[in-house]
Amino acid sequence: MRPFAYARAQSADEAVSLHDGDTHYLGGGTNLVDLMRLGVERPAKLIDVTRLPYDRIEENGGGLFIGAAVCNSDLAADRTVRDRYPVLAEAVLAGASGQIRNKATVGGNLLQRTRCSYFQDVTKPCNKRDPGSGCPAREGEHHNLAILGHSPHCVATHPSDMAVALTALDASVRVLGSAGERGVPLSDLYRLPGDDPSRDTTLELGDLITGIQTPPLGMASRYRKVRERASFAFALVSVAVALDIADGTVRDCRVALGGVAHRPWRARRAEELLRGAPATEASYLRAAQAELEAARPLRDNGFKVPLATNLIVRTLSELTASEQGDES
Amino acid sequence: MRSLERVEARAKVTGAARYAVEYPVENAANVVAVAATVARGEIESVGAEEVLALPGVLAVLSCENAPKLQSVDDAELEVFQSRRVAYRGQLVAAVVAESLETARAAAARLRIGYRAEDHHVLLEDASDDSDDSDFSVDIEQGDPETAFAGAAVSVDATYTTPAEHNNPMEPHATLAAWDGDELTVHDSNQGSTTVRDALAQIFDLDPARVHVVSPHVGGGFGSKGTPRPTVVLAAMAARAVGRPVKLAFTRQQMFPMTGYRTPTIQRVRLGADADGTLTTIVHEVTQQASTIRDFDEGATKPMRIMYRAPHRRAAHRLVRLDVPSPSWMRAPGECPGMWALESAMDELAVTTGIDPVELRVRNEPETSPEDGSPWSSRNLVACLREGAERFGWADRDPMPCARREGRTLVGTGVASATYPVNREPNEATARAEPDGRFTIRIAAADIGTGARTALTVIAAEALKAEPDRVTVEIGDSDLPRASLAGGSTGTMSWGTAVHRACEALLAELDVPVPPEGVEVTVGTEDELKAEEKYARHAFGAHFVEVSVDIDTGEIRVPRMLGVFAAGRIVNPVTARSQLLGGMIMGLGMALMEESTTDREFGGFLNHDLAQYHVPVCADVRGLEAVWLDEEDRHLNPMGAKGIGEIGIVGAAAAVANAVHHATGVRVRDLPITPSRLLPSL
C-alpha cells in the first residue's frame, strides 16, 4: 500500500476544496480500502466524508432525498423506503453481508468498482486499471462478466445491486463540484466502457456525490438477484422491475438488469414493448427477448442470456400475480 | 454417552487463545513474501538495492543471497535455492522491515527480472494429448475389459472436479526467533513434531535445539499438514536480520503457495448384470502435479473397497504442468473419488431401475474386495437403512422431475461415504500429582477439531478420573513426539498413546503419589506392528434434498442427513461439529467451490474469499449428522475410527444425484452452478 494522507472534511465545500486530483473520498471504505491493499487504488490522500451532514433520508416532492452518507443498512430498514420503493430495500438487502451493509454508505455503493479478476490483480493487464494494457478477460475468465454493451477494451460488469434499483426508479444523484451543485440522472452517471474503460462514470475529478433523489414511483416493484450461493455473492444476473397494471394491460413499467453490463442496464426496449401490452407471460417473454437481442455473450457467459430473459419474465409474472391478488 | 464441551472454548471466544503471529515479542521485524509473476522461467535479476534504500527496510532475501539450505523431500521448502520459476505465484523473494506496512510497500516495489518461458497450465489441454500408457495401475483383478464389454448393463461416464482450495481461516503464519543456534517458532501447522524435524534437517540443527510451538491453530484442512515455506522463510529471515520476525501469508498468497486439491478427470466404467449385481468396476483418474513436487491424490482408493465385483481396475496418471503444487485437502482421494464412483452408481441405479439404496446393498462385499481381508466392522448397509428410515426415502418416486412445486423442482439423492482407519505410532506422557491432578503431554495438534477435548475424555476414562482433574498439553514439539493431525488419524493415534500412558500410570498409583509426582511415558510403535490383519474403514450414507429453480438454475439444499458408522464416538459434541463441518464442505464442493486456472498468465484467477465461494449460513438449512453405535474390537483401546474427513466423502455425489432426480439433468462437472445447469433445464 502506498502511504497516504488522511483528512476529515467538516463540510462538503471543504471536502471538494481539499480534493487535489490524487485523492479519493472515503465513505465506508468497504471497497476502496480493499483496492488500496491490493494496490489497485493508490491515492495520495483520503478525505473522509462520513461526518458530512448527508446522513438522513427526507421526503420531498413526493419522492425521497437519500443522503450520500446514509449507510446501506439504514436505507434498507427505512419505513418509507420499504413502503414506497420495495425494489430499493430488496436490492440493498441482496448485496454484501450485514456487517458490510452497516459500514457501507450509499454514495460509496454507487461508486464501487468492478470485481473482474484481472482488474483486481495489479500483476496482470487491465484497460480499466491501466489504460492501453489490454483486456485479458475477453479471451480469459469472464463467466460472470458482461453480455451487453461491452467493447473490445473492457467486458467488466458493475457490481452494485442498489444502483440497479435506482436506475429502474429514474433516480438522480446530487453532485457537488468545483462549479457548484448539479443533478445527474443515474442513466447519465454510468458509462459504457467504449474506448475508455478507466472511467466508470461521467463524474469529473473532485465531484462529490452528496445524495440521491428518487422521484415518486406509484407502482409495485420488486428486486430479484440470482447467484450461486444464497447470500454474500455478486449477481450472476439481477433484475429490478416496477409494474402498473390496469384492466389486464400494462400501463407503465420499469425494468433494469444487473450483472450484465458495465453499468446498470435499463431495459428500455422491453419497457417500450410492455407499455400498453397485455399483462401476460407471453408479453413479458416477447419484451425480454427483444431486450436481449442486443446481447453479445462471450465464450463462457452465454448462460446469462436465457437467465436474464427468464428472470425478467418470472419477476414480472410474480409481480403481476401479487398485484392481481391484491386487487381481488 | 458423556460429552465434554471444548476445553479451550472460553480461551478462544475471549481472544485469550493466541495464534502464531499473535505472540507478544519484543523487537520483532516483519516479513512479506513476494510471488513470481511468470508461470515458468528463470529469475534474471532482483532489484534489492532500490528497496533496501527505503527507510525501515532491513533485508531483501531471494535466490541472489539466500543461505544454502539442506534438502528435504519437498521442493516447496527449498526456499530461494534456485533461479527457476515453476509456477506463477511461487515464493521468489521476501522483504524484511521494521513495520508490516513498510514491508508490504517495499515488497510491492521490489522489481524482479524474469526470462519467461512458454507455459502449460490446463489439465484438460494436456490430458487430450497423452494416452493410456501414461497411467500407472493401482489395482487390477480379473479381466475388466472383457467383462465390461460383455456386461448386461453398463455405465461409462467421465466426471471432473476443479482445483479446490483449503482456505483455513488462520493463514499460514510463523513467528521465528533465534537464540544462538537455538530456533523457536510459533507456527500454524498440523503437527509440531513434523515441522521440528523438517526445520532441523533444513537448517542442519540438532532437533533438540528446535522448538515448534502451536497450541492453537485456526484450521488447516490438509494445507498445513506438510511444513510450509512460511516456516522456512521466517527462520531464514530471523537469522538474516538477527531479530525475531513475523510472517503471515496474505489470503492471495495462500492460493498458489499452500497447496490445493488437484483438478481431476475421472472415467468410471461399471458393468453389471440386469439385476444390478456388479461384475466390473474400472476407475481411471487424470490429475495434475507441479514440475517440482509429485503428489498422488489417490482418488481410486475408495473404489478398491466399496463394492463387490470380480473384475476391477484402478489407475491414475499425473500430468506435470507449470502450476502450483497440489497437496492434501479435505479427504484427499476419498473425496473426489467417491464423487465419481457414487455418481456412477446412481447412473447405474437409474439405468437398471433399481432403487439406489438397494443397488448399494446388493453389492455389499463380505470381505474386502481389495485383498480378501475380513472387515474389522462394516456397517454401510446399516447406515443406508437408518438414513432411508430417517429421511423418509420409502416414499420417494424414483422418476426424475416427479416433484414440481410452482417454478421449483425438488429431488432427493443418496450416496455412500467411506474413510479408512489409519493409525500412526506416537508417544505420550501421563503424570500424576499428589493433589489428585493429572497432566497428559503429547505433541498433538488441535486445528479446531476438538482434539484437545477428545484426548481429555480419553485420558479421564483411562484414569477413571473426572475430566476437570486432567490437563492435556499439546501443540509443542518439546512434548513427546506425535504424528500429524491428518488422514483422520489424530484421535485414534494420539488417543492410543494417551490411553496406554494413563493405563501404565494407573498401575503405579496403588501407593500414594510422592511429592515429586509420578510420570510414565509410553510409545505405541510395537502395538501397531503387532496389529492383526483386518480391513478397517468407517462408512456412512448421505441423504440430500435439493430444490432447483427452473428459471434460474439456482440450487438450494433444504435437507442434508449424514449417517455414519465410525466405531465408538469419543466425544459426541465435538464429533457432531466435525461431521456437520465435513458435510457443509461437501455442499460447497457440490455447488460452489472452484479455483479457476489462468490459461494466459498461469496461477489461479480467484484468490480471495469473495471470488472463491464456500457455503454461507444461508446455504445451510436442515443439516443433521447422526451415528450408529458400532462396536469394533480390532481398532484401538477406544474402539474408535476417525471422523475428521468422512463427513465430506460422498456428500457432493448425493447433492448431484438429488439434482438429477429433481431435474433429469446429470451434471458430471463440479461445481453444479446455474451456468452449468440452466442450459439443460
Contacts of B615 in chain A (CB under 8 A): 229
Report residue B233 as a C-alpha cell. Answer: 522463510
Tell whether B384 and B417 lie within a shared domain. Answer: yes
Residues B190 and B56 in one domain: yes
Going from the C-alpha of A310 to that of each of A64, A84, A151, A281, B195, the distances in angstroms are 31, 26, 25, 11, 54
Of A1, A311, A313, the CB nearest to B104: A1
CA distance B563 to chain A (A): 25
Name the 3-class secondary structure at B616.
Answer: coil
What DSSP state is assigned to residue B578? H
Percentage with pLDDT > 90 across chain B:
97
| A311 touching B (Cβ < 8 Å) | yes
Question: Who's near B83: CB < 8 A, 6+ residues apart?
Answer: B42, B43, B44, B63
Cβ <8 Å between A140 and B600: yes
Residue after which a domain boundary falls, among B223, B257, B291: B257
A229, B553: Cβ pair inside 8 Å?
no
What is the model's pLDDT at position B125?
Answer: 84
Q: Which residues of chain B have pLDDT under 50?
A: none
> A with B: how many residue pairs have Cβ under 8 Å apart?
86
- Residue B569 shares a structural domain with residue B641: yes
CB distance B319 to B287 below 8 Å: yes
- Name residue, grid cell 425480454: A288
Provide the 3-class DSSP secondary structure of residue A76.
helix
- Judge whether A44 is closer than 8 Å to chain B, CB to CB: no
Active-site positions of B read 645
In a domain, B3, yes or no: no
Q: Do B591 and A228 touch (CB under 8 A)?
A: yes
Is B553–A303 a contact, with Cβ atoms under 8 angstroms apart?
yes
- Residue A158's pLDDT is 98
Three cell numbers at B677? 445447469
Cβ-based contacts of A113 with chain B (< 8 Å): none
User: Residues 6 or more apart from A328 whose CB is under 8 A from it?
Assistant: none
Contact B675 A303 (CB under 8 A): yes
Q: What distance in Å separates residue A229's CA from the closest CA in chain B?
A: 6
Closest by Cβ to A230, choosing from B252, B616, B678: B616
Nearest Cα neighbor of A2 from B102, B473, B116, B396 is: B102
- Best B552, B611, B676 member to test A by mutation, with max A CBs in 10 Å, is B552
Name residues 130-149 of chain A within 8 A of B (Cβ). Answer: 136, 139-141, 143
Instruction: Extract long-range pairs of A176-183: CB within 8 Å, 24+ residues apart.
Output: A176/A12, A176/A13, A176/A16, A176/A207, A176/A208, A176/A210, A177/A16, A177/A204, A177/A206, A177/A207, A177/A208, A178/A16, A178/A204, A178/A206, A181/A210, A183/A213
Q: Is residue A219 within 8 Å of residue A254, measured between CB atoms?
A: yes
CA atoms within 13 A on the CB side of B546: 30
Give how many domains chain B has, as a whole number: 3
pLDDT, tens digit, 9 for 90 and up, residues B550-596: 999 999 999 999 999 999 999 999 999 999 999 999 999 999 999 99
Residue A303 to residue B674, Cβ atoms within 8 A: yes
CA-based nearest residue in chain B for residue A302: B675
| HEC profile of B334-389 | HHHHHHHHHHHHHHHHHHHCCCHHHHHHHCCCCCCCCCCCCEEECCHHHHHHHHHH
Per DSSP, B420 falls in state: E
Partners of residue B605 in chain A, C-beta under 8 Å: 117, 121, 140-141
Task: Inspect the interface and report whether the beta carbons of B674 and A307 lie closer than 8 Å.
Answer: yes
Closest-CA residue in chain B for A121? Answer: B605
**pLDDT band for position A17 (cuts 50, 70, 90):** very high
SS3 B412: strand
Whether residue B153 is contained in a domain is answered as no
A2, A143, A232 ranked by CB distance to B675: nearest: A143
Q: Please write the tens of the pLDDT for every residue from B614-627.
A: 999 999 999 999 99
The nearest alpha carbon in chain A to B596 belongs to A141
- The answer to whether the beta carbons of residues B96 and B58 sit under 8 Å apart is yes
* All three cell numbers of A193: 466502457
Q: What is the pLDDT of residues B115-171, one digit of tens each?
A: 999 999 999 887 666 666 789 999 999 999 999 999 999 999 999 999 999 999 999
- Spatial separation of the C-alpha atoms in residues A183 and A174, rounded to whole Å: 5
> What whole-number distance in Å separates Cα of residue A116 and Cα of residue A126?
9
3-state secondary structure of B175: strand
From A161, A54, A59, select the one nearest A107 (Cα to Cα): A54
Residue B585 in domain: yes
Q: What is the DSSP string of B181-235?
A: TEEEEEE--S-HHHHHHHHHHHTT--GGGEEEE-S-----TTTTSS--HHHHHHH
Note whether B493 and B617 are same-domain residues.
Answer: no
Mean pLDDT of all residues in chain A? 96
Residues 251-310 of A with CB under 8 A from B: 300-303, 306-307, 310
The predicted structure's pLDDT at residue B129: 61
Selecting from A117, A226, A301 the residue whose C-beta is nearest the C-beta of B554 gives A226
Q: Is residue B374 part of a domain?
A: yes
Residues of B in contact with A139 (CB under 8 A): 600
Furthest C-alpha separation in chain A: 63
Please state whether beta strands A208-214 and A220-226 pair in parallel, antiparallel, or not at all (unpaired): unpaired
pLDDT in tens, A148-160: 999 999 999 999 9
- Determine the Cα–Cα distance for residues B371 and B248; give it in Å rounded to an integer: 46
Q: Which residue has the cell 478462544?
A: B12
Fold entry, domain A54-328: 3.30.465
Domain boundaries, chain A: 54-328
Whether B678 and A121 lie within 8 Å, measured CB to CB? no
Structural domain boundaries, residue B664: 264-422+533-680
The fraction of chain A above a pLDDT of 70, given in percent, is 99
Same domain, B675 and B649: yes
**Which residue in A39, A140, A314 is closest to B598 by CB distance?**
A140
- pLDDT at A3 (0 to 100): 86
Sign, CA torsion B676/A234/A229/B551: negative
Residues of B with CB under 8 A from a CB of A: 37, 101, 104-105, 108, 252, 407, 551-554, 556, 591-592, 596, 598-601, 605-607, 610-611, 613, 615-619, 671, 673-675, 678-679
Query: Over chain B, what is the mean pLDDT?
Result: 97
What pTM was estimated for this model as a whole? 0.97
What pLDDT shows up at residue B681?
Answer: 93
Domain-embedded: residue B155:
no
Task: Determine phi and psi for B133, rounding to 5 degrees.
Answer: -65, -15
* Chain A positions in Cβ-Cβ contact with residue B678 (cut-off 8 Å): 303, 306-307
The yes-or-no verdict on residue A65 having pLDDT over 80 is yes
Residues near B596 by beta carbon (within 8 Å), at least 6 away in sequence: A117, A141, B162, B163, B604, B605, B606
Q: How far is B609 from chain A (nearest CA, A)?
A: 10
Chain centroid to Cα B440, Å, comes to 27
B280 shares a domain with B385 = yes
Contact at CB, B552 and A310, closer than 8 angstroms: yes
Same structural domain, B330 and B294: yes
Residue by residue, DSSP assigns B289-332 as: E-SS------TTTGGGTSS--SEEEEEEEEEE-SSPPP---SST
Instruction: Identify which of B14, B34, B3, B20 has the alpha carbon closest to the alpha carbon of residue B111.
Output: B34
HEC per residue, A138-151:
CCCCCCCCCCCCCE
Per DSSP, the three-state class of B93 is strand
Q: Are A101 and A76 in contact (CB under 8 A)?
A: yes
CB spacing of B104 vs A300 below 8 angstroms: no
Q: Does A179 touch chain B (CB under 8 A)?
A: no
What's CA B244's distance to the chain center, in Å? Answer: 31
Contact list in A for residue B596 (CB cut-off 8 A) is: 117, 141
Helix (H, G, I), strand (E, B) or coil at B64: coil
**Residue B484 is placed in which grid cell?**
500429524
Give the chain A residue whose CA is nearest to the CA of B88.
Answer: A123
Helix (H) or strand (E) holding B128, with range, is helix B123-128
CB of A110 closer than 8 Å to CB of A207: no
Q: How far apart are CA B131 and CA B158, in angstroms?
A: 16
**B485: domain CATH number?**
3.30.365.10
In tens, the pLDDT along A275-297 reads: 999 999 999 999 999 999 999 99
- Distance in angstroms (rounded) separating the CA atoms of residues A327 and A321: 10
Helix (H) or strand (E) holding B13: helix B9-13
Whether residue A328 is predicted with pLDDT greater than 60 in this model: the reply is no
Interchain CB contact of A114 with B (< 8 Å): no
Cross-chain Cβ contact A141/B105 below 8 Å: no
Q: What is the ipTM of this complex?
A: 0.96
Q: How far is B621 from chain A (nearest CA, A)?
A: 11
Closest CA to B35 of B97, B99, B85: B85
| One-character DSSP codes across B105-127 | HHHHH--EEEEE------HHHHH
Residue-level pLDDT at B278: 98
